[in-house]
Amino acid sequence: MKTGIIALLLVSVAATTSFAQTKDTMKTFDSAFAHTVYFWFKNPENSADKMKFETSLKKFLKDSKYAKTNFIGTPPKATRDVVDGSFTYSLIVTFESAEAQEGYQKEEAHLTFIEECKDLWEKVIVYDSNGI
């Protein structure tokens, strides 16, 4: 019985320590400013295009000095008429301010991403939002 309690305590401490380390290194969603981008590819089924885009986008976001959090997505199978699943990729990035988002637009990492991938998409739509 005593051995079981000690083992349970060790597992609990390990899980708590692991969670604390993860929590400390995670970036917190910033509700001040959200930048939402939808990409429509010229060849949405092309695996090489998708790999090129994802690799470049992830590198850009890792190197960005301004982006606080990000989410990269693809459309799920739409089950309702109000859901637009026509895009190839979506990107949501948060910033501490509109000024930080302006810096992001001009930074080398962002400009390199655009240069590397602009030939892949036929349409891009951006929605920027201030938090309330």
pLDDT digits (tens, 9 = 90+) for 53-68: 999 999 999 999 988 8
Under DSSP, the state recorded for 26 is S
Q: What strands lie across the sheet with 33-41, from one edge to the other?
A: 69-73, 89-95, 33-41, 121-130
Residue 131 phi/psi, 5-degree rounding, is -70, 155
* Average confidence (pLDDT) over 106-130: 96
Range 33-130: architecture per CATH: 2-Layer Sandwich (3.30)
* Average confidence (pLDDT) over 99-121: 95
Residue 43 phi/psi, 5-degree rounding, is -125, 75
Give the per-residue pLDDT at 10: 32
C-alpha to C-alpha distance for 32 and 29, rounded to whole angstroms: 9
CB of 10 within 8 A of CB of 101? no
pTM of the model: 0.76
